[in-house]
Structure formats: structure tokens, C-alpha cells
Amino acid sequence: MSNSETFIDEVTEEVRKDQLFGYMRKYGWIAVLAVLAIVGGTAFSELRKAQTETAAQAAGDTILAALEIDDDEARAAALSDIEATGGAAAITGLLAAADLTETGDVDGAAAALEAVALDDGSPQVYRDLATLKSVMVQRDTLSVQDRRAILSGLAAAGSTFRLVAQEQLALIAVEAGETDDAITQFVAIAQDAEVTGGLRDRAFTMIVALGGDLEALISTPVTQVGDQ
């Protein structure tokens, strides 16, 4: 009885092996394709990465070459002609706008900044910077209401350029003759935990220039300044 069971087990095992080899002959190509797909996908990913790095390096070299041009107008034209995407496109747009501003071409600078601000493919930090610079460049052409509306969004909590936008809003208050409000805003900037040394010094200077009592205002919580 034991021998019969052993014989049956051996036969069963052989049948299983035959079935396994049959499956491998019939469906083995699927495994081969899977391996090729994995290897091919990895190779394609590495190729794309190499192409991206090469394109970024080429864009960087082109930007550096344009920056070596001495003339502002020619440099702006060279930067505007660079074909780039994403962060590289944003950088060229911001640099071109700076040169156009130097030449007095406010409309051209505003157009370059708007292109960056509206580019969904550019990093948000560059888009916000372009928006901020656009308001500053067009301070003589945009209305107070329009500038305040744009800057208010940039001055919101969590914005990268929050304090700079708040400074611009305070300067608009000065421009509008709203001296007390401007002083309150400059005090808020000076008391902010994230303010830089340079921006704090500018806020102090403006508080004194507007006739504010610097020592008293800075020692008073900003929420109470407006009530005095």
C-alpha cells in the first residue's frame, strides 16, 4: 500500500512538472515582456532625465551668454528670444523685465512680467514675484485700487513675498495721504517675527519720516496702534 502511494505521488509530481513546463512554454513570453518592460521603462526614465538635464544646462548657458551683453536693450532682447520652459522661462522673463525697466520701457517690462505671472508651467514663487514686480513697475499707470487689490493677495499669510507686499501697501497709503494707516502698517512690518533687518530699518525710517513716535509705537502691540 505504501509503495502504491509513493508511486502515485511520483506520478503526480511528474504531471505537475509537465504542466509547469507547459505553462512556461505557453505563457513564458509574458514574463519576458514584463522584464523587457521594466528594463525599457528604467532606460527611458534615465534617458528623459538626461535629456532634461541637458536642456536645463543648455538654457543656463544661453542665459549666461545673454547676461554678458553690456547694453540693457540688447540684453533684454536676447533674453526674450531664449526658448525655455518652466523655471528657466520665468527667470529669463524676470531678467528681461528688469532690463526693460532700466531702459524706461514700462510697457515692455509689464508685458514680460505678465507672461511669467500667467505661466502655469512656472513655479509659483516666480509667478508671485512677477506679479509683485509688475505692480511696482506700473505704479504710475495702475490705479491705487488696482494696486491694492493685487498686493492684498500677495500680502496674505503664507505668501513668500508677504512682507514686501505689505510694505508696498503701506507706501500706497502714504501716497494716498493716509498717514496714520501707513504708520500702523509700517509698525506691523517692524514687529513681524519674519521681517529682515533691511526691511525693518526701512519701516523705522518711514515711521520717523511720517512723524510717528518710533519708541512709543514699537513698544505698543500693533493691534492697539490704530486705536491711539
pLDDT tens column, 201-216: 999 999 999 998 877 6
Cα–Cα distance list, 199 to 47, 111, 131, 142, 155 (Å):
46, 28, 20, 24, 15
Cα 165 to Cα 151: distance, rounded to the nearest angstrom = 6
**Mean pLDDT rounded to a whole number for the chain:** 77
pLDDT in tens, 60-107: 667 666 666 777 777 777 777 767 667 778 888 888 888 888 888 889
Provide CB contacts within 8 A for 203, sequence distance 6+. Answer: 167, 170, 186, 187, 189, 190, 195
pTM: 0.64
Cα–Cα distance list, 9 to 18, 21, 151, 220 (Å):
14, 18, 83, 93
Cα–Cα distance list, 140 to 93, 103, 144 (Å):
21, 16, 9
Cα 129 to Cα 51: distance, rounded to the nearest angstrom = 28
* Residue-range domain boundaries for the chain: 7-68, 70-141, 143-228
Confidence class of residue 17 from pLDDT cuts 50, 70 and 90?
low
- Give mean pLDDT, residues 7-16: 52
Cα 87 to Cα 170: distance, rounded to the nearest angstrom = 31
Nearest to 189 by CA among 205, 213, 209: 205
First to last CA, the chain: 108
